[in-house]
Amino acid sequence: MNQLLNFRREYSATEFSEENALHDPFQQFKNWLNDAVQSGIEDANAMVLSTAGKDLKPKSRIVLLKNVNSEGLSFFTNYNSNKALQIEENPNVSLLFPWQLLDRQVRIEGTAEKVSPEESDEYFISRPEGSRIGAWASPQSRIIPSRKYLEEIEQELKAKFIARSLPRPLYWGGYRVIPELFEFWQGRSNRLHDRLEYYRNNGNWKIRRLAP
């Protein structure tokens, strides 16, 4: 794969400066998310979630952002999965939105906590029936003997229940990441990219610039 060495391009997008950055990082994030959706990036809400448990070995995977407001950013998953076990051991997590089509990336650091059971119920019942059955059928992150094993569980559930009537499994629900830090990265020419970091200072968000 020697050609990897030659994979490079110039980033020439517009600047992201202290002058045009919004004061509220959540609003700034929502603007960039909106730009990502409008630009046609598929799964613009896909984010890399990194966690590290007691063994200090980081694990990363993609999850889908399902809600963002001034409290935090939420996603849904299995509370017995590896990510959930790691969050239980250490709630510090990092999120990454890779929006390369716009020469942008957003990094977020914060702590994850479970959303309320009501919020998880509300999202669970909004999901397509197949996804609801899937949540019951899959012991996420556990070793299973075969694909057939999963399909048999799915068939059994379909035969026994009307998917619409399936309640949320107690081991399935949401997490909210409460940010302590946001970094907005905008690619610029000659590798002199714009990096603005929002951090908390006495309860207020402040902005500082990082070298690219």
Ligand X SMILES: Cc1cc2nc3c(=O)[nH]c(=O)nc-3n(C[C@H](O)[C@H](O)[C@H](O)COP(=O)(O)O)c2cc1C
Closer CB to ligand X, 169 or 199, in the complex: 169
Residues 135-154 that bind ligand X (CB under 6 A): 140-141
- Contact status, residue 58 vs residue 164, Cβ threshold 8 Å: no
Q: Does 74 bind ligand X (CB under 6 A)?
A: no
Q: How far is Cα 4 from Cα 159, in angstroms, rounded to an integer?
A: 50
- Figure out which of the listed residues 25, 28, 74, 77 binds ligand X, where binding follows CB under 6 A: 77
Closer CB to ligand X, 127 or 158, in the complex: 127
- Contact status, residue 80 vs residue 140, Cβ threshold 8 Å: yes
Closer CB to ligand X, 21 or 65, in the complex: 65
In angstroms, what is the minimal distance from the CB of 165 to ligand X?
23
Strands (E), the chain: 46-52, 58-64, 67-69, 72-78, 92-99, 104-114, 172-186, 194-201, 204-209
Q: How far is Cα 65 from Cα 72, in angstroms, rounded to an integer?
A: 11
Per the annotation, the verdict on 195 as an active-site residue is no
Q: Does 43 bind ligand X (CB under 6 A)?
A: yes
Q: Does 64 bind ligand X (CB under 6 A)?
A: yes
- Contact status, residue 32 vs residue 185, Cβ threshold 8 Å: no
Q: Does 96 bind ligand X (CB under 6 A)?
A: no
> Do you know the residue count of the chain?
212
- Figure out which of the listed residues 30, 61, 127, 158 binds ligand X, where binding follows CB under 6 A: 61
Active site residues: 191
Residues engaged in binding ligand X (CB under 6 A): 43, 46, 59, 61-64, 75-78, 81-83, 140-141
